[in-house]
Amino acid sequence: MESALERLWRTLIWAFVVFFVVNVIAMISTVVVNSFGTRWLNSWLPAAFTFRWYAAAWKEFQLGDVLLVTFQIAGAVVLISALIGVPAAYALARRNFPGKPLVMLLFLLPLLVPPITFGVPLATVLYKVGLAGTMWGVIIANLVPTVPFTVILMIPFIEQIDPRVEAAARVFGAGTRRLFIHVLVPLLVPGILAATLLAMVRTVSMFELTFLTAGPTSQTLVVSLYYSVFAAGVRAGQSIDAMAVIYMLSTLIWLIVALRFVNPTQIVARVKKAPA
Amino acid sequence: MTAPPARRPTLADRGIDGVTLLVLPAALFVVLLFVYPFLYGLLLSFAPKEGGLLGNYTRFFSDPYMYGTIWLTLRLALPVTLLNIALSVPIAMQVRHMKHQRLLTTILVLPITLGTVLVAEGLLNYLGPQGWLNRTLILFGLIERPIRLVHNYWGVFISLVITGFPFTFLLTLSMISGIDPALEQAAATLGARARQRFRHIVLPLIVPGLAVTFCLAFVDAFSVFPSAVMLGAPAGETRVISFAAAQAAFEQYDYSYASAIAMIMAVVQFGFVGLVLTLRGLFYKGPAGGGKG
Amino acid sequence: MAIASAGFRELRLDRMSRNFGAHNALKEISLTVQRGEFIALLGPSGCGKSTALNCLAGLLSLSDGSIWLDDRRIDTLKPEERGFGMVFQNYALFPHMDVRRNVGFGLQMHGVSKSEIARRVDEALGVVRLGSQAAKLPGQLSGGQQQRVAIARAIAIEPPLVLMDEPLSNLDAKLRLEMRAEIRRIHRLLGSATIYVTHDQDEALSLADRIVVLRDGEVRQIGTPQELYRQPLHADVAEFMGFRNALRGNVVRREGRGIEVDCGFTAPLRGQAVDVAGDRIIVSIRPADLVPIPDGPINAEVTGLEYRGEAYYGTATGPAGQELYFRTDEPLAVGEAVRLGAPADRTLVYAAGNEG
Amino acid sequence: MAIASAGFRELRLDRMSRNFGAHNALKEISLTVQRGEFIALLGPSGCGKSTALNCLAGLLSLSDGSIWLDDRRIDTLKPEERGFGMVFQNYALFPHMDVRRNVGFGLQMHGVSKSEIARRVDEALGVVRLGSQAAKLPGQLSGGQQQRVAIARAIAIEPPLVLMDEPLSNLDAKLRLEMRAEIRRIHRLLGSATIYVTHDQDEALSLADRIVVLRDGEVRQIGTPQELYRQPLHADVAEFMGFRNALRGNVVRREGRGIEVDCGFTAPLRGQAVDVAGDRIIVSIRPADLVPIPDGPINAEVTGLEYRGEAYYGTATGPAGQELYFRTDEPLAVGEAVRLGAPADRTLVYAAGNEG
Amino acid sequence: EPVVINVIDVAGDLEVSGPALEKFQAEHPDLVSKFVFTQATAPELAGKLKAQQDAGRVDIDFVLTGNDALAAGMEQGLWMEILPKYADKFPNLKELYIPGAYLMQEMARGQAFVIDWYPSGPLLEYAPDRVKDVPNTPEALMAYCKANPGKFMYARPANSGPGRTFVMGLPYLLGDKDPKDPINGWDKTWAYLKELDSCIEYYTAGTTASMKELANGTRDIIATTTGWDINPRYLGIVPEEYKIGAFKNFTWVGDANYMAVPKGVSEAKLKVVLELMAYLLKPAQQAYMYDHGYMYPGPAIKGVTLDMAPKDSQETIAKFGRPEYASLIADNPTEAPLDAKPLVAMFDKWDREIGAAKMKK
Ligand SMILES: Nc1ncnc2c1ncn2[C@@H]1O[C@H](COP(=O)(O)OP(=O)(O)OP(=O)(O)O)[C@@H](O)[C@H]1O
Ligand SMILES: Nc1ncnc2c1ncn2[C@@H]1O[C@H](COP(=O)(O)OP(=O)(O)OP(=O)(O)O)[C@@H](O)[C@H]1O
Ligand SMILES: [Mg+2]
Ligand SMILES: [Mg+2]
């Protein structure tokens, strides 16, 4: 009786997953197909296929350089925010100290307050110290929301780790640094994976702060993309789609690479798979 | 033998030790680079083009077209966030046992890479009157005329689900897999069925994680902007608050008013996030293992 | 909810097997347990005891074989449908519930009323002497307290079949004895069947109706405590049952079950043949039975001595380098020569090469 | 990294205390441990043994008091600076590292070279008989195997001070004896100090130079195994040390340390006064010492019997309803009348009301 | 010493003027060693410039912008005041510019120069196979729309050139009191728009989306401009054969892009940029503005004809251009669009009263 209900439930879930995946793939496909289409009106498929939108976009936005810059910036942001965010999250998860709510608020604010308010003064500060206009300026500006993001996100993951395992590492001579390297980070891999992936996606898509602090040679892909979508003037949908596809690929690569090498499920679950 | 010195409460007793100091780099970074610009924006919001200190705020709250955006935004952000979490949890519960888990995970997480533009373009095409979806439905005779799924509330809603679901799913999956399977096994031997195991074991243990997930996802959804413009009706039912702020800043070039709106936005979000994080404090937070090993 | 085990008469394992990858953790275990029976599962570390319990509880699927309750095949049922109680070796307490809720969880799942739950939880906590810790979370308990919560949790639901995986391993001697008595009392009270994993012989001997000795995933012997204590069927079982002295030698003379063997000492040893096929044998003697006697046949040199309260236990080396474990009431000095002997009826002789 | 414990001469706990909220888990523990000494910490479940070890290791901060290594105060040092080895009661293995890496972890942290690590890990795995499981993750091991990894991990670093929290609780009798021998061997080899928590009296008696008995966070007695086994200072320690029979009565006659007490049996009992202030006393006798003798002073009725291999152990009720635990070589029937007696030098008498 | 000039384009103008800039570099290697082009969306430009100027480090030397971002910059004082200081370099602007372009040049108040201009709209674009009689008066459009609900559409004005041109053209057609004052002078227009709303299904967020709906047959008539008529058909977004219709006696509402210089640009660079601006206002360069009909016709100054334009430009116009434009431009008056302030007020009112009304249904 109830197991029939359970089966129904499971079927429903899988049905939804299939529904979701099919529609998302179809949606992506329309964009991909369109980006290769010459002209697509009122029919199942475009009239003919071409590469010209890619070629044009590539040339117009000097995408080679832009992609390289984007990767560098995203890489640096992700790395730095993990490096300083995870330890901070660790402290917040493990210790109760006076003023902790205030610190939490400090980390929440950059996520809550839209960049409109602080983007310009932040850029001013960065221009004053001579960082804006360079790649580092963009990296630092992007760190302002990603560091707190990483901190907040990592807290529950750290709480899940058994402090006794940490205790063991300390007893056997691991100081905080090596505790992180040898024990915490490997155990936190799923959380760090999620945090870095999401931080990367956010950096790549952070238009406002990037634009405000980027110089002519430190613009990232999203600036070009937004330009092609929102700037005045006529632009073929196919060309926008081509840009969007390039944008997607630029993050998709990392997602696939990351999930290829890192398992999003934690070690406990992997070792002790529940009953078949 | 010398008498040991009397013990005074040390910093460590109050929770301040080397580990606590790890919070410093991040905190310093935020203080240095965020606090000043933020205060600047905050002060700016109290220096309206016209009116007294609170001019911008009274202006906002005396104009239903403006304060209505809060409701319009909440109407999008809350259901979407809750739906995404509600979908993520059962799916993650299923996926974690799977053999080809990585492949499926990759596919499910994939939409976070799409970017708002691709999603908007894709939905406009796919769900549009001549899109594949409507065509298919018409082909099979399920509908007669194309149904309208974009340029309204649902267009934005769908896009938020597509970009938001992978986010919550990835977090939920990683969090659920942190629970020692032995706990569920123990519950099973005590007669708990799958639903009860979920309700009594898994759910309470991931609530703290879900709370954080909710906060981050909610904040994301609440500040929805490009897709509200591209897929919604930005003058109408998807006139979200960040759109109002952007209008003030970029159309009316009233940065002071824009700052004020953004501050209001932050306060509203904080209302929810603060509440959720406070509630989170009431739950068990700690290792999700059951004893030895 | 229909619980499969309610009111069963017998539980039958039919060639139950389980592999982990290439490793066969259980190899065709067959066993029938009657209702009301108390079975102890004994065996060296890693021999598959917990695996067997997990298979029974439905937490691991079988690789082969089947499990039957009377005429019903249950190895395909989910754990929650079997209705067995289980004490996990690693406790598996719910970290987010206090002791009271941990213990009451099973009752809650079975739809027992609130007041009844409260009553039975109090009772179970009383049994494990944890009334005063009821409001703590598992993480705030000592190891032994956690283990007792695990026991209380399993017995609170009064299951018709209880599986216990080393439930007393972290308790002190006094508490162990008390808990042992409680477990036996509850076993009788519920008329349930109990399968009890332990590494403590005393526990197995005193509690069990029958003992099953496993080794490398295989059943080596099934028998009553007396049988196992006095007459293990194989040299390895004997060694496991406390016959720590295992001396190799050759048969000198046989007369019925009596046997005389030569192990290179001053005189042949006399013992009881349990399972002697050829000439080369192993002699098994418990340390407690091997004591210094003036004309003992075993000449050896003391290499160590330890205090064990009621007596001293020593180690010694025989002429062929044999390691010997013996008992003595008076302390001996290391290096001292000693002559040891054991009663013939406590000296068991097995065929060599059969020790596995 | 300078390790505090390297080459120390003595470890001194000075009124070490630790509270959990309002609960005082350790109350002013003072103890001095010499290098090379083997200390066993004994006490009922929840008495604070693990807490004491955790405080020593630096995993819990003290609420009061201090810990000294020679002249250096170390209770303010971080765990990683103390350089102690520890076997955790709950193992606390690194779930993401295979057995080999778990065991080598400490060496790696101490900057030992790769090849040296490999050598010493192999050695440690050999000691705990886990060579064949080296590539498994902890989650793939049986309970006993995990425990052995925990032991191997602690001894691999050859620490000057080893803390062991019930390291053998999940091992079978045979392996326990072997491991016990290994632990002693390593202790001697390293010349290290060992503080060893156990609930197994045998282990404490055979391994320790001195035994510390804790109760409710307080030290009840410190002494050699012999002292503790033969002459516990308090009735509660006695009960904990296996004097399971605790009979209340009154003093009849004293002559020096000899004493005669009346507990309502057919005749007064003769025993040894350990600590007798007033007239009302408690008589403590081990079950093993209380045996049926034809004219034993204690008349009782058998209520239960259990097999323990070398003998039977029974329960009986005395005339005043006293619970009695005794030993017998021949099985007795439940309900049978029996007369029990114990040697006077094995019968200890304590003042009543002092049992804690 | 040749310098590097950082050009930022927030109007999509490089599409049109890019070749002329490159030509300048080729002809003046002594002045410019390199142009670095950045493209961006208009709204955030002001913020970025402000940040740079507050910090005293301006790294943008030359801006191509539409009138929205220009106005924003003017309001915040971001632009260098070129006139009258450097008036000698730009003599006789009134003579130089086409009248319609000059109207817009005046709006720049000496802080920028119109680089290209077109009369824009309002125009209607329709599918000839589905629409036989294209409406040629506002009343006819209303009647058509009511008869064919959902078949007419214009994009949300705030985000669409054609959308706003359509709305800005209406006061002239309907004879409103003050076509330059949307709040107080547009009574008829607002009434008209409200009524029109009843037969419009929704307003797309941008022009492209409305073009697509026209192309795929969901709509039959949409609002457009000259550039949005020619260029999308050239690009294949809209079928070539689609036609345009104009209202009788309508007034063109022009549109232009500007070139401006932020305050804070160094003297050395400023000299070069001024040179560049003067250069771009020469007929030879202005001929590039024909482009692919992106801002048809495009040139802002008098006397530039299509035959001066590059070959492919001529071909495109020949193929996708419309002969009727010449007469439409010649025969109808031209007005400047709304100034920035009233324009924003118009957007706001439209959003509140037209756009938001959609929700209530
Ligand atoms: N974090 C904590 N919060 C509150 N009480 C605690 C906490 N940790 C331990 N205790 C209590 O302190 C007491 C001592 O615990 P400890 O673990 O030292 O006992 P133990 O002697 O090791 O017992 P066992 O033999 O059962 O392991 C116990 O009563 C326990 O419940
Ligand atoms: N998930 C697993 N993957 C691989 N091998 C496993 C796994 N679980 C158990 N094993 C192996 O199976 C064997 C039996 O394990 P089991 O836990 O049943 O032993 P046990 O008899 O309970 O031992 P102990 O007394 O030490 O608890 C062990 O050798 C163990 O290493
Ligand atoms: Mg086991
Ligand atoms: Mg303990």
Residue that wins the pLDDT comparison between B282 and A79? A79
- Using a 6 Å cutoff on CB, does residue C94 contact ligand 2? no
Residue E129 is predicted with a pLDDT of 85
What are B203-244's pLDDT values in tens digits? 999 999 999 999 999 998 998 888 888 888 877 788 888 888
Interface probe for B, chosen from D11, D70, D90 (most Cβ of B below 10 Å), is D90
Contact between D157 and A172 using a beta-carbon 8 Å cutoff: yes
Burial of residue E85 (number of CB atoms within 10 Å: 0-12, 13-18, 19+): exposed
- DSSP secondary structure string, E7-62? EEESSS-HHHHHHHHHHHHHH-TTTEEEEEEEE--SHHHHHHHHHHHHHT-----E
Query: Is residue C356 a part of any domain in this protein?
Result: no
Residue A274 is predicted with a pLDDT of 38
Q: Could you give the C-alpha distances from D5 to D56, D80, D99, in angstroms and in order?
A: 12, 11, 26
Residue D46's closest CA among C133, C151, C200?
C133
Q: What is the mean pLDDT of residues E326-333?
A: 82
Answer whether E334's CB lies under 8 Å from E254's CB: yes
Residue A235's closest CA among A35, A63, A48?
A35
Angle ∠(D152,D155,D160) on CA atoms, nearest 5: 165
- Using a 6 Å cutoff on CB, does residue D142 contact ligand 2? yes
For ligand 1, what atom is nearest to the CA of residue D89? 27
Calpha distance B5→B8 (Å, rounded) = 9
Residue B10 is predicted with a pLDDT of 60
Query: Is residue C237 a part of any domain in this protein?
Result: no
How many C-beta atoms lie closer than 10 Å to residue E301's C-beta? 21
Answer whether C128's CB lies under 8 Å from C180's CB: no
Provide the mean pLDDT of chain C.
89
Contact between A125 and B36 using a beta-carbon 8 Å cutoff: yes
Answer whether E121's CB lies under 8 Å from E169's CB: yes
Query: Between residues 7 and 46 of chain B, which touch chain D (CB distance below 8 Å)?
Result: 7, 10, 12-13, 18
Last residue of a domain, one of C171, C198, C231: C231
Residue D144 is predicted with a pLDDT of 92
Residue C292 pairs with which residues in a beta bridge?
Answer: C340
- DSSP secondary structure string, C288-309? GG-EE-TT-SEEEEEEEEEE-S
Question: Do C179 and C272 lie in a common domain?
Answer: no
Residue A254 is predicted with a pLDDT of 86
Residue that wins the pLDDT comparison between C18 and B291? C18
Interface probe for A, chosen from D98, D105, D120, D163 (most Cβ of A below 10 Å), is D105
Query: Is residue B61 a part of any domain in this protein?
Result: no
Q: What is the mean pLDDT of residues B64-79?
A: 89
Q: Which ligand is nearest to the CA of C43?
A: 2
Provide the mean pLDDT of chain E.
83
Distance D171 CA to ligand 2 centre (A): 13
Domain of residue B135 covers: 72-283
Contact between A127 and E212 using a beta-carbon 8 Å cutoff: no
Calpha distance D222→D224 (Å, rounded) = 7
- Using a 6 Å cutoff on CB, does residue C135 contact ligand 1? no
Answer whether E226's CB lies under 8 Å from E296's CB: yes
- DSSP secondary structure string, C12-41? EEEEEEEEETTEEEEEEEEEEEETT-EEEE
Question: Do C173 and C315 lie in a common domain?
Answer: no
3-state SS class at C243: coil
Query: Between residues 7 and 46 of chain A, which touch chain B (CB distance below 8 Å)?
Result: 9-10, 13-14, 16-17, 20-21, 23-24, 26-28, 30-31, 34, 41-42, 44
Banded pLDDT at C355 (limits 50, 70, 90): very low
CATH number for the domain that contains residue B156: 1.10.3720.10
Distance C177 CA to ligand 2 centre (A): 28
Calpha distance E243→E235 (Å, rounded) = 16
For residue D111, what are the contacts with CB-CB under 8 A and spacing of at least 6?
Answer: none
Domains of chain A: 4-49 (no CATH), 55-270 (1.10.3720.10)
Chains that touch D (3 or more CB pairs under 8 A): A, B, C
Nearest Cα of chain E lies from the Cα of B129 at a distance, in angstroms, of: 7
Residue C138's closest CA among D62, B197, A169, A162?
A162
B285, closest residue in chain C (CA to CA): C96
User: For chain D, how many structural domains are there in total?
Assistant: 2
Banded pLDDT at C325 (limits 50, 70, 90): very high
Query: Between residues 116 and 135 of chain D, which touch chain C (CB distance below 8 Å)?
Result: 133
Residue E242 is predicted with a pLDDT of 86
Question: Do D199 and D250 lie in a common domain?
Answer: no
Answer whether B96's CB lies under 8 Å from A204's CB: no
CATH number for the domain that contains residue C251: 2.40.50.140
Last residue of a domain, one of D231, D265, D281: D231
Calpha distance E26→A154 (Å, rounded) = 55
What are D311-343's pLDDT values in tens digits? 899 999 988 888 999 999 888 899 999 999 999
Percent of chain C with pLDDT over 70: 98
Candidate from C1, C61, C79 with C-beta closest to A276: C61
Q: Residue with structure tokens 């192999």?
A: D122
Residue D3 is predicted with a pLDDT of 65
Question: Do D122 and D249 lie in a common domain?
Answer: no
Contact between D90 and A268 using a beta-carbon 8 Å cutoff: no
User: For chain B, how many structural domains are there in total?
Assistant: 1
- Measured between beta carbons, the chain A residues lying within 8 angstroms of C59 are 275
Residue B211 is predicted with a pLDDT of 93
Query: Is residue B46 a part of any domain in this protein?
Result: no
Residue D46 tokens read as 């929840």
DSSP letter, residue D128: T
Residue A83 is predicted with a pLDDT of 92
Query: Between residues 77 and 116 of chain C, which touch chain D (CB distance below 8 Å)?
Result: 89-90
Contact between B7 and D93 using a beta-carbon 8 Å cutoff: no
Calpha distance A273→C119 (Å, rounded) = 36
Q: Residue with structure tokens 């539980």?
A: C11
Question: Do D139 and D117 lie in a common domain?
Answer: yes
Q: Could you give the C-alpha distances from C37 to C32, C272, D165, in angstroms and in order?
A: 10, 31, 34
What are B155-187's pLDDT values in tens digits? 889 999 998 999 999 999 988 888 888 899 999
How many C-beta atoms lie closer than 10 Å to residue C138's C-beta? 23
Residues of chain D with pLDDT under 70: 1-5, 354-356
Calpha distance D221→D242 (Å, rounded) = 15
Q: Do chains A and E touch (3 or more CB pairs under 8 A)?
A: yes
D17 part of contact set with chain B, CB < 8 Å: no
Calpha distance E170→E250 (Å, rounded) = 8
Provide the mean pLDDT of chain A.
85
Residues of chain A with pLDDT under 70: 1-2, 232-234, 267-276
Question: Do C226 and C247 lie in a common domain?
Answer: no
Domain of residue C124 covers: 10-231
Query: Is residue C152 a part of any domain in this protein?
Result: yes
A188, closest residue in chain D (CA to CA): D96
For ligand 1, what atom is nearest to the CA of residue D54? 18
DSSP letter, residue A37: B
B113 part of contact set with chain D, CB < 8 Å: no
What are E275-314's pLDDT values in tens digits? 888 888 888 877 777 777 777 777 877 777 777 778 887 8
Query: Is residue D2 a part of any domain in this protein?
Result: no
Query: Is residue D237 a part of any domain in this protein?
Result: no
- Using a 6 Å cutoff on CB, does residue C90 contact ligand 2? no
For residue A203, what are the contacts with CB-CB under 8 A and spacing of at least 6?
Answer: A73, A74, A77, A78, A142, A146
Chains that touch C (3 or more CB pairs under 8 A): A, B, D
Calpha distance D142→D146 (Å, rounded) = 6
Q: How many residues does chain D have?
A: 356
- Measured between beta carbons, the chain C residues lying within 8 angstroms of B291 are 88, 90-93, 138, 146, 150
Backbone angles phi, psi at C212, to 5 degrees: -115, 125
Query: Between residues 179 and 198 of chain D, which touch chain A (CB distance below 8 Å)?
Result: none
Query: Is residue C333 a part of any domain in this protein?
Result: yes
Calpha distance A111→A145 (Å, rounded) = 6
- Using a 6 Å cutoff on CB, does residue C142 contact ligand 1? yes
Question: Do D219 and D303 lie in a common domain?
Answer: no
Answer whether E73's CB lies under 8 Å from E43's CB: no
Amino acid at E6: N
Distance D45 CA to ligand 1 centre (A): 8
Answer whether C168's CB lies under 8 Å from C202's CB: no
Question: Do C263 and C176 lie in a common domain?
Answer: no
Q: Could you give the C-alpha distances from A4 to A1, A7, A9, B192, in angstroms and in order?
A: 5, 5, 9, 16
Q: Could you give the C-alpha distances from A199 to A82, A133, A149, B162, D48, in angstroms and in order?
A: 9, 22, 7, 18, 45
Residue A1 is predicted with a pLDDT of 43
How many C-beta atoms lie closer than 10 Å to residue E106's C-beta? 14
What are C19-66's pLDDT values in tens digits? 998 889 999 999 999 999 999 999 999 999 999 999 999 999 999 999
Helix (H) or strand (E) holding E161: helix E161-174
CATH number for the domain that contains residue D144: 3.40.50.300
Residue that wins the pLDDT comparison between B197 and E212? B197
Residue B2 is predicted with a pLDDT of 43
**ipTM field:** 0.90
Question: Do C218 and C332 lie in a common domain?
Answer: no
Query: Is residue C58 a part of any domain in this protein?
Result: yes
Banded pLDDT at C17 (limits 50, 70, 90): very high
The alpha helices in C15-142, defined as continuous H runs, are 49-57, 79-82, 99-109, 114-127
Calpha distance B65→B60 (Å, rounded) = 9
Nearest Cα of chain B lies from the Cα of C59 at a distance, in angstroms, of: 6
Nearest Cα of chain C lies from the Cα of B219 at a distance, in angstroms, of: 28
D173 part of contact set with chain C, CB < 8 Å: yes
Residue C281's closest CA among C321, C315, C246, C249?
C249
Cα radius of gyration (chain A): 23
Banded pLDDT at B3 (limits 50, 70, 90): very low
Calpha distance C229→C243 (Å, rounded) = 9
Q: Could you give the C-alpha distances from D147 to D86, D158, E335, in angstroms and in order?
A: 12, 18, 89
DSSP letter, residue B2: P
DSSP letter, residue E79: B
What are E147-160's pLDDT values in tens digits? 888 888 888 888 78
Answer whether D102's CB lies under 8 Å from D94's CB: yes
Residue C221 is predicted with a pLDDT of 93
Residue D19 is predicted with a pLDDT of 92
Banded pLDDT at C86 (limits 50, 70, 90): very high
Provide the mean pLDDT of chain B.
85
Q: Which of B17-26, E63-72, E88-97 has the lowest mean pLDDT?
A: E88-97
Amino acid at D346: R
D15, closest residue in chain B (CA to CA): B4
Nearest Cα of chain D lies from the Cα of C70 at a distance, in angstroms, of: 30
Contact between A234 and E237 using a beta-carbon 8 Å cutoff: yes
Query: Between residues 132 and 191 of chain B, which touch chain C (CB distance below 8 Å)?
Result: 180, 182-183, 185-191
Residue B234 is predicted with a pLDDT of 77
Angle ∠(D235,D241,D244) on CA atoms, nearest 5: 70
Last residue of a domain, one of C198, C231, C264: C231
B13, closest residue in chain D (CA to CA): D61
Percent of chain E with pLDDT over 70: 99
How many C-beta atoms lie closer than 10 Å to residue C116's C-beta? 11
Taking CA atoms only, the protein residue closest to ligand 2 atom 23 is C46
Contact between A170 and D95 using a beta-carbon 8 Å cutoff: no
DSSP letter, residue A238: H
Question: Do C262 and C201 lie in a common domain?
Answer: no
Residue A27 tokens read as 């949606």
Residue A273 is predicted with a pLDDT of 52
Helix (H) or strand (E) holding D251: strand D245-255
Calpha distance D64→D19 (Å, rounded) = 9
What are C227-263's pLDDT values in tens digits? 998 889 998 899 888 898 999 988 888 887 888 888 8
pTM, whole model, 2 decimals? 0.90
Query: Is residue B50 a part of any domain in this protein?
Result: no
- Measured between beta carbons, the chain E residues lying within 8 angstroms of B50 are none
- DSSP secondary structure string, C317-343? E-TT--EEEEEESS---TT-EEEEE--
Q: Could you give the C-alpha distances from C340 to C313, C330, C349, D309, E321, in angstroms and in order?
A: 13, 14, 17, 22, 119
Helix (H) or strand (E) holding B105: helix B101-109
Query: Is residue C236 a part of any domain in this protein?
Result: no
pLDDT at B9 over 60: no
